[in-house]
Amino acid sequence: MNRFDDNPLRKDRDRRKTSRRATRQRAWADPGGTAPVIDCVIVDVSEEGARVTPLQGAELPDAFRLQLDTANAVGEAQVVWRAGAAVGVKLARPKKR
């Protein structure tokens, strides 16, 4: 038994079409408009989504653009679950801005 077997957040593991890859990569969530970007960490990522945790206690909005840097967007993120400060997002191809 591994340490995730009794974690309720892991119940949906079988519904994923692709496996997650641990990343621990710094990024930012850009809600668009005049709202400030939010520094965050991409904890893990798959083809369809990611688990993202904001830094410094910020709350992530329901939808945002997930950016690695000014030139590289991971995708348009839509929150599908929340657990404390962490969110699970479904990713879509980045829109041109």
pLDDT (tens digit per residue) in 1-42: 444 444 455 555 546 667 888 889 999 999 999 999 999 999
On whether residue 3 sits in a domain, the answer given is: no
Report the pLDDT value the prediction gives residue 78, as an integer from 0 to 100.
97
pLDDT, tens only, 49-95 = 999 999 988 999 999 999 998 889 899 999 999 999 999 999 998 76
On whether residue 2 sits in a domain, the answer given is: no
Report the pLDDT value the prediction gives residue 88, as an integer from 0 to 100.
96
On whether residue 8 sits in a domain, the answer given is: no
On whether residue 10 sits in a domain, the answer given is: no
What predicted TM-score, i.e. pTM, was given to this entire model? Answer: 0.77
Give the CATH number of the domain where residue 52 resides.
Answer: 2.40.10.220
Q: Domain range holding 46? A: 16-92
Residues in the chain, overall count = 97
On whether residue 63 sits in a domain, the answer given is: yes
* 3-state DSSP assignment of residue 9: helix
On whether residue 24 sits in a domain, the answer given is: yes
What is each CA distance from 60 to 2, 19, 53, in whole angstroms?
Answer: 30, 24, 8
Q: How many structural domains is the chain composed of?
A: 1
* 3-state DSSP assignment of residue 11: helix
